[in-house]
């Protein structure tokens, strides 16, 4: 994670949407239809954002006041706010409204350099709205230049209709899985394994059913309380365990052994005014591959992977090199897209960004602004 393979005075050659050559400028042909002079700038792979809840209706800026008065995330949720208030707004929104609001966020993500993103359902919590969200994700993937990898997160919270009957709710989700699979509406199934959300047993039950159908497994694990979610990820061969603010060393070892990606979301504790960030240094020492994501959602609303890279360095003591690897190639691994995106390599999709900085060290160092000047998606200039 500490080697970026930087080429000073390099060139990238793109043809038919793919990278066909990369190397020192002197070694790469220069007779192209379009030439972009990047002198004094930094060219790198487009960011991959592997954990987002980008489709939702409404906003929750009022919760900032509640947080300032000392209410915790779970207290806000239990008082009918948090995820449940977004569920209400999302159920009420039409498909067109969801498309419109989500498209706008994707435009912002792309301006900030993200070229591939994951997106989760999970603000429907009933069959109709979960399917509506997944259909919106599918339409956005076609309509927007960015690529989206869809995840089914019906197990995001217990809907009010199922209060006290979480097992029945999990069963209803399992009944929905074949339709999701058949219509190709999701590649992964995710679950919020947490006190007040879903237990370890419920999480396992759901993810085993998803795996049986050929869906990949992801887990929101160890965000507030450690229920054993990250060790479960290792046991099930999940592609990633996500959040990991309170993961133990034993869990990390279990993850490292089977290569579960630790998907860290430093904007979440930031937005919750918490001081407990995932122990990235310990994970790297133990050999857990790390990826980074925004966790874009109405509680933690940022579209900027540049901000995440900054937080990773300043709050989790990752080096700029580690943070950039985690926001590109490792992030691509976390959504099973490493064959196609996440690095500048011959044969990969030409997803490139040009930043107006003399070297990558400026990305975390100069935070809160957008350094991305040009975005190229599949060989086409989409920003700049
Ligand atoms: O990953 N922790 C659970 N789910 C989301 C937040 C969703 C919300 O608050 O709307 C997360 O942080
Ligand atoms: Fe999340």
For the Cβ of 268 lying below 6 angstroms from any atom of ligand 1, the answer is yes
| Mutation pick for ligand 1 pocket among 266, 297, 298 (CB with most ligand atoms within 8 Å) | 297
Is the distance from CB of 181 to CB of 214 less than 8 angstroms? yes
- SS3 letters for the chain? CCCCCCCCCEEEEEECCEEEEEEEHHHCCCCCCCCCCCCCCEEEECEEECCCCCCCCCCCCCHHHHHHCCCCHHHHHHCCCHHHHHHHHHHHCCHHHHHHHHHHHHHHHHHCCEEEEEEECCCCCCHHHHHHHHHHHHHHHHHCCCEEEEEEEEECCCCHHHCCCHHHHHHHHHHHHHHHHHCCCCCEEEEEECCCCECHHHHHHHHHHHHHCCCEEEEEECCCCCCCHHHHHHHHCCCEEEECCCCCHHHHHHHHHHCCEEEECCHHHHHCCCCCCCCHHHHHHHCCCEEECCCCCCCCCCCCHHHHHHHHHHHHCCCHHHHHHHHCHHHHHHCCCCCCCCCCCCCCECCEEEECCCCCCHHHHCCCCCCEEEEEECCEEEEC
Strand partners for 377: 380
For the Cβ of 295 lying below 6 angstroms from any atom of ligand 1, the answer is yes
Cβ burial of 214 (10 Å; 0-12, 13-18, 19+) is exposed
> Which residue's alpha carbon is nearest to atom 10 within ligand 1?
83
Question: Distance from the CA of 14 to the center of ligand 2, in angstroms?
Answer: 35
For the Cβ of 299 lying below 6 angstroms from any atom of ligand 1, the answer is yes
CB atoms within 10 A of CB 122: 28
For residue 143, the Cα-to-chain-centroid distance in whole angstroms is: 20
Question: Distance from the CA of 351 to the center of ligand 2, in angstroms?
Answer: 25
For the Cβ of 157 lying below 6 angstroms from any atom of ligand 1, the answer is no
Q: Which pLDDT does position 28 carry in this prediction?
A: 79
> Which residue's alpha carbon is nearest to atom 3 within ligand 1?
192
- d(Cα 159, Cα 168) in Å, to the nearest integer? 11
For the Cβ of 120 lying below 6 angstroms from any atom of ligand 1, the answer is no
Question: Distance from the CA of 37 to the center of ligand 2, in angstroms?
Answer: 38
Strand partners for 24: 10
For the Cβ of 342 lying below 6 angstroms from any atom of ligand 1, the answer is no
- d(Cα 325, Cα 309) in Å, to the nearest integer? 10
Question: Distance from the CA of 15 to the center of ligand 1, in angstroms?
Answer: 40
For the Cβ of 190 lying below 6 angstroms from any atom of ligand 1, the answer is no
Structure tokens at 70: 């000392």
- d(Cα 228, Cα 54) in Å, to the nearest integer? 27
Q: Which pLDDT does position 314 carry in this prediction?
A: 98
Question: Distance from the CA of 340 to the center of ligand 1, in angstroms?
Answer: 28
Q: Which pLDDT does position 71 carry in this prediction?
A: 93
Q: Which pLDDT does position 104 carry in this prediction?
A: 98
Site of tokens 């900032």: 64
| Ligand 1 atom with the shortest distance to the CA of 243 | 1
For the Cβ of 192 lying below 6 angstroms from any atom of ligand 1, the answer is yes
Rounded average pLDDT per 10-residue block, the chain, 384 residues: 94 96 86 92 98 98 95 89 95 98 98 99 98 98 98 97 96 98 98 97 98 98 98 98 98 98 98 96 98 98 98 98 98 98 98 98 98 98 98
> Which residue's alpha carbon is nearest to atom 8 within ligand 1?
83
Question: Distance from the CA of 197 to the center of ligand 1, in angstroms?
Answer: 11
Q: Which pLDDT does position 26 carry in this prediction?
A: 85
- d(Cα 198, Cα 193) in Å, to the nearest integer? 5
Question: Distance from the CA of 243 to the center of ligand 1, in angstroms?
Answer: 10
């Amino acid at each position: 994670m500490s080697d970026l393979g930087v080429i000073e005075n390099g060139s990238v050659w793109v043809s038919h949407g793919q990278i066909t050559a990369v190397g020192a400028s002197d070694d790469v042909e220069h007779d192209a239809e379009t030439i972009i002079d990047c002198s004094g700038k930094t060219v790198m792979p487009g960011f991959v954002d592997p954990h987002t809840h980008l489709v939702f209706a409404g906003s929750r800026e009022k919760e900032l006041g509640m947080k300032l008065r000392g209410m915790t995330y779970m207290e806000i949720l239990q008082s009918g706010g948090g995820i449940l208030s977004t569920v209400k707004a999302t159920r009420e929104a039409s498909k067109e409204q969801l498309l419109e609001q989500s498209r706008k966020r994707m435009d912002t993500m792309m301006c900030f350099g993200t070229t591939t993103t994951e997106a989760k359902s999970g603000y429907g919590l009933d069959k109709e709205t979960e399917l509506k969200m997944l259909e919106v994700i599918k339409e956005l993937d076609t309509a927007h230049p960015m690529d989206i990898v869809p995840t089914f997160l019906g197990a995001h919270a217990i809907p009010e209709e199922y209060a006290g009957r979480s097992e029945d709710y999990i069963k209803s989700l399992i009944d929905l899985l074949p339709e999701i699979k058949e219509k190709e509406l999701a590649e992964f199934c995710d679950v919020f394994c947490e006190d007040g959300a879903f237990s370890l047993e419920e999480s396992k039950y759901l993810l085993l059913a998803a795996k049986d159908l050929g869906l990949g497994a992801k887990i929101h694990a160890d965000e507030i309380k450690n229920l054993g979610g990250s060790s479960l990820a290792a046991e099930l061969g999940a592609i990633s365990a996500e959040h990991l603010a309170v993961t133990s060393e034993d869990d990390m070892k279990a993850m490292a052994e089977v290569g579960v990606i630790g998907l860290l979301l430093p904007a979440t504790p930031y937005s919750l005014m918490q001081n407990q960030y995932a122990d990235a240094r310990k994970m790297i020492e133990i050999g857990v591959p790390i990826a980074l994501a925004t966790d874009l959602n109405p509680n933690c609303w940022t579209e900027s992977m540049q901000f995440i890279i900054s937080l990773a360095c300043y709050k989790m003591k990752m080096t700029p090199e580690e943070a950039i690897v985690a926001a590109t190639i490792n992030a691509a691994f976390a959504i099973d897209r490493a064959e196609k995106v996440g690095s500048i390599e011959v044969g990969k999709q030409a997803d490139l960004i040009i930043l107006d900085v003399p070297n990558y060290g400026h990305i975390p160092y100069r935070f809160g602004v957008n350094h991305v000047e040009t975005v190229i998606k599949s060989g086409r200039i989409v920003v700049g």
